[in-house]
Amino acid sequence: MKHTHLSNIMAILSIFLGVCIHDTALAQGTAQQTTSVTEGYAGTAIPIDITIKDATEWEPPVMPAIDGLNIERITGNQSSMTRIANGVRTDSTQITYTFAVVAEEPGTYEIPSFPILVDGQTLQSRPVTLTFRPSENHGLLRAEVSGNPNRIIQGESTTLTLQIMVKQFTDSTYNVSPDAREMWSLIDANSDWGPFTETMIDLYTNRRVPRGRAQTLRDENGNRENYYLYDIQAEVRPVATGPLDVSDITIRINYPVSLLRERSFFGPSLKIDQVRPISTEATCRGVEVLPLPAEGRPPLFNGAVGKFEITTTASPTTVAVGDPITLIMTITDKGETAFDMDVLPAPELDKMPELERDFRVPREDLAGVVNGRRKTFTQTIRARRDDVTSIPPLSYAFFDPRQDTYSTSESRPILLEVSPSETINSSDIAGAVNKMPGNNLHSVSGGILANYTGADRLLANSEEPGTLWLLILLLTPPLAIIAIAGARHGMRGHLADPERIRSRRAGRQSLITLSSVSNMPESSQPAAIIEAICTYVADRTGQTPAGFMRGDAIATLRSCNTDEPLVHEVDQLISQCELLQYAGGGTGDIANLTRTAEAMITRLEAVDTLKTSQKACQS
């Protein structure tokens, strides 16, 4: 009886296991296609989801290429779920692939059916028709540029204001409008900012947001609508004359279409769901650049616009003909508004006939050093004759836009004492040779036989060597051996210290790099100058050059007790190079910066603290 009951139980269990195994063997994965929307705007993605469920083997689906569409496949996270109901455990897995479909131009596009391989079977997607409408502005986004002052002379600076106006969006379902900060976040950071590029780089780098204010304006149809206004300012010095050209400013935004309610740990909230791209080109509101007048232009005028004063100093003031004289010229901005001293041109010394007549003046572009509203230029001149009594007044011409006239500032003369240069001719050299001291010769009777002879004469003045001489003779060989061994040991120690070798070669290597800047592409030249300076500081102080940036270089120089004015000049030079990377500039700017960098490396080579306190600098 017991045996029969056990047999029945085993038979039922076998049947149950067989059914389970049969069901598992027959179970196969599925694929589900989801297209939430079929209409959108050109330039905006429409998502198509393919979800593969409960599959053991599958291949990522591939959507066919279609002319006019950009299709990108995004793989979602794979998830799994286990459910137990009435003692029965059910396991399920799924993975979702999202295709972001973007149309380059408005129109209707057909996506045909494509295969999906799941657990050895080939499934087919459903064909989908997508319609992309043009994304027109219709007054949703506007941009306008104004200037203060709005009429300037060529070469004069003005403060430009870019005002971006974004129409407030209100969701019809929830009657909610995103605030000014949210709407700003939808503006494309990669818009074409034109002369405001540097300002925008600073904003985005420091994660700052311009303050938006709500204001009612009339739209293109004359209706009063609510807008958010954002003001961005930049100091600009236009080059071309005429109405200010702002055609290089195009603002783009992903304007919201709808909001979506979502639930989170903190409760339900709304977020921007769908957007569409729109753009606008900036317009200019009456900013005009007037040309410099030709009448009354001084011969020495070289483009300075504003009000300036020139002062000079020289050292030394007592020299011989041909000796170097260091001439320092300081140009001070005396205008009502601050001038960008970085672009202020140097005095053209080679065009001053009074100076050229009495002095030899190099013909080269000078790179000055800016300190607030002053810019200092340094040049070496040499007196031509010994009748030169002074350095004449130097002139600096400029156009004063407030007085609407050209003016010239003159420095005071500098008194000099110039003596003739010393010269040496061949007769002086021969005379020095002939005037050698010596006794006069005289003859004696007997000729050579008159010389003294005999051993007693030879030994008459002999004496025994002293103890000091014996010590010198005995100690010289071993001391020489010790000195040679010490020198060789020092050389081995020097060769074994790569940090010391790198420090000694830092200046030469940086100058080699700077000499090749002019052969590089213009876009790479400012970065090459920055790298040469930062690498030099790193090599001199035994630090790793990789990742050694402007802040590291300045901090290192200060920690090594480098003179603060020199540190400031290094910082200013790197800052100018960084500005040139974004603002652009001519080859003359690069040439000046390169020469300034070379001079700065030479000055840093003479800083003793960098030579002797490398370890201290690192700590």
What's residue 90's pLDDT? Answer: 80
**327 within 8 A of 380, measured Cβ to Cβ:** yes
CA proximity to 381, closest of 369, 390, 371: 390
CA–CA distance, 302 with 319 (Å, rounded to integer): 32
Strand bridging mode 128-133 / 39-41: parallel
CB 580 within 8 A of CB 597: no
Contacts of 530 (CB under 8 A, 6+ apart): 550, 574, 577, 578
Tell me the C-alpha distance between 593 and 345, whole Å.
Answer: 13
Of residues 326 and 451, the one with the higher pLDDT is 326
The answer to whether residue 4 scores a pLDDT higher than 90 is: no
Distance CA 314, CA 412 (A): 11
How far apart, in whole angstroms, are the C-alpha atoms of residue 499 and residue 541?
Answer: 8
Distance of CA 307 to CAs 295, 332, 334, Å? 18, 9, 5
Instruction: Output 21 or 179, whichever has higher pLDDT.
Output: 179
| Number of C-beta neighbours around residue 145 at 10 A | 23
Mean pLDDT of 550-565: 87
Q: How far apart are CA 517 and CA 575, in angstroms?
A: 17
Q: Please name the amino acid found at residue 300.
A: L
Distance CA(166)–CA(225), nearest Å, equals 10
Give the CATH number of domain 30-133; options: 1.10.287, 3.30.70, 3.10.450, 2.60.40.
2.60.40
H helices within 465-524, ranges in order? 467-495, 498-515
Flag whether pLDDT at 125 surpasses 80: yes
Burial (Cβ within 10 Å: 0-12, 13-18, ≥19) of residue 614: buried
Among the listed residues 444, 618, 430, the one whose alpha carbon sits nearest the alpha carbon of residue 540: 618
What is the Cα–Cα distance from 470 to 216, expressed in whole angstroms? 109
Q: What is the pLDDT of residue 581?
A: 62
Q: Tokens 């070496």, residue?
A: 380
Q: How far apart are CA 401 and CA 277, in angstroms?
A: 44
pLDDT at 214: 94
pLDDT for 187 equals: 95
Q: What pLDDT sits at residue 318?
A: 94
pLDDT digits (tens, 9 = 90+) for 324-356: 999 999 999 998 878 888 888 999 898 899 999
Confidence of residue 2 (pLDDT cuts 50, 70, 90): very low
Q: What mean pLDDT comes out for the span 114-137?
A: 93
Integer Cα distance of 367 and 529 in angstroms: 14
From the CB of residue 147, how many other CB atoms can be counted at a distance below 10 Å?
21
Alpha carbon separation from 486 to 462, 480, 491 (Å, rounded): 40, 10, 9
Domains 30-133 and 300-419 share a fold: yes
Q: What is the mean pLDDT of residues 525-552?
A: 85
* pLDDT tens by residue, 146-198: 999 889 988 888 999 999 999 999 998 889 999 999 999 999 999 999 999 99
Examine the pLDDT at 450 and tell me if it is beyond 60: no
Contact residues for 333 (Cβ-Cβ < 8 A; gap 6+): 306, 307, 308, 339, 341, 344, 373, 374
Residues 374 and 396: beta-carbon distance below 8 Å: no
Average pLDDT over residues 568-580: 83
The residue extents of the domains of the chain are 30-133, 141-289, 300-419, 498-618
Confidence of residue 390 (pLDDT cuts 50, 70, 90): very high
Q: How much is the pLDDT for 515?
A: 85
Q: What is the DSSP string of 379-415?
A: EEEEESSTT--EEPPPEEEEEETTTTEEEEEEPPPEE
- Write out the two tokens for 444: 């004696």
CB 165 within 8 A of CB 229: yes
Residues near 19 by beta carbon (within 8 Å), at least 6 away in sequence? none
What's the residue count for the chain? 619
Write down the pLDDT at residue 265. 66
What would the mean pLDDT of 595-615 be, rounded to a whole number?
78
Q: What is residue 226's predicted lDDT score, i.e. its pLDDT?
A: 94
**Whether 22 contacts 114, CB under 8 Å:** no
Name the more confident of 195 and 92.
195
Say what the pLDDT of residue 425 is: 54
* φ, ψ for residue 66, nearest 5 deg: -135, 130
**Biggest CA-to-CA distance, the chain:** 166
**The pLDDT of residue 15 is above 70:** no
Confidence of residue 393 (pLDDT cuts 50, 70, 90): very high
**Percent of the chain scored above 90 by pLDDT?**
42
Through-space distance between the first and last CA atoms of the chain, rounded to whole angstroms: 92
Q: Which residues contact 565 (CB under 8 A, 6 or more apart)?
A: none
Binning pLDDT at 50, 70 and 90, where does residue 495 land? Answer: very low
**Nearest of 128, 112, 109, 102 to residue 41 by alpha carbon:** 102
Residue 186: partners with Cβ closer than 8 Å, 6 or more residues away? 253, 254, 255, 256, 272, 275
In CATH terms, 300-419 corresponds, of 2.60.40, 3.40.1620, 2.40.30, 3.40.50, to 2.60.40
473-482 burial, b at 16+ Cβ within 10 Å, e below that, comes to: eeeeeeeeee
55: helix, strand or coil: coil
Report d(CA 386, CA 403) in Å as an integer: 43
Confirm if 397 and 302 have CB atoms less than 8 A apart.
yes
- Cα→Cα distances 197→205, 286, 326, 573, Å: 12, 21, 40, 20
The whole-number pLDDT of residue 87 equals 77
Share the mean pLDDT of the chain: 82
The residue type found at 30 is: T
CB contact at 8 A, 140 and 255? yes
pLDDT of amino acid 499: 73
Q: Is the pLDDT of residue 424 over 80?
A: no
Give Cα 200 to chain centroid, integer Å: 15
CA distance 596 to 370: 12
Q: Is 281 helix (H, G, I), strand (E, B) or coil?
A: strand
Q: Give the model confidence (pLDDT) of 215-269 as tens digits.
A: 999 887 888 999 999 999 999 988 889 999 999 999 999 999 988 888 766 667 8
Q: What percent of the chain has pLDDT over 70?
A: 82
Task: Name, in order, each residue with C-beta under 8 angstroms of 126's C-beta and a sequence gap of 6 or more.
Answer: 33, 113
At 384 the pLDDT is 92
pLDDT of res. 232: 96
* Alpha carbon distance 569, 370 (integer Å): 8
